[in-house]
Amino acid sequence: MIYRKAKFIDIEEIYVLVNHYAEEGLMLARSRNALYESLRDMIVAIDEKDGIVGVGGLHITWEFMAEIRSLAVDPAHSRRGIGREIVYRLIEEGKELGISQVFTLTYQEKFFEKCGFKVISKDELPHKIWKECIDCPKFPNCNEIAMIYKV
């Protein structure tokens, strides 16, 4: 498995992968525009035969704080540690930037617990992180779980 920063040529595969899970209600959909805008945030996992089989992004949100978002692994490649490896690589990238807390808003509580995240109240997160929530179809009735990893 090859892990690297995402490139423009990856956007279509990332779009399909992320929105596959969004259609199932397991994560939020991302437009192509949103993916292009966050390209520098993303890491991809590439299988030589199947192409992009995993993706995740580290989005800086506030002083010393970042969010892991758009984490998805192709169902045919799940349970092989790809998602966990992407999370660990994103956390390491955050450490290099001086991030002290990484959070996620997720429906996959057990997965993130295995990665060392703890459930917190959404009220513990700074208001600045909610600026993108206004565009979400689930706003203001968000049922995602807030979780945090202290670096």
Q: Each residue of 22-78: pLDDT tens digit?
A: 898 888 889 999 999 999 999 999 999 999 999 999 999 888 999 999 999 999 999
What integer pLDDT is reported at residue 62 of this predicted model?
A: 82
Looking at domain 2-150, which of 3.40.630.30, 3.40.1190.20, 2.60.40.10, 3.90.1170.50 is its CATH number?
3.40.630.30
Domain boundaries in the chain? 2-150
Does the structure show a pLDDT above 90 at 147?
A: yes
Q: What does the pLDDT average to over 82-87?
A: 98
| pTM attached to this predicted model | 0.90
What integer pLDDT is reported at residue 38 of this predicted model?
A: 94
What integer pLDDT is reported at residue 135 of this predicted model?
A: 59
What integer pLDDT is reported at residue 141 of this predicted model?
A: 61
Q: How far is the C-alpha of 115 from the C-alpha of 8, rounded, in Å? A: 29
What integer pLDDT is reported at residue 111 of this predicted model?
A: 96
Q: What does the pLDDT average to over 81-97?
A: 97
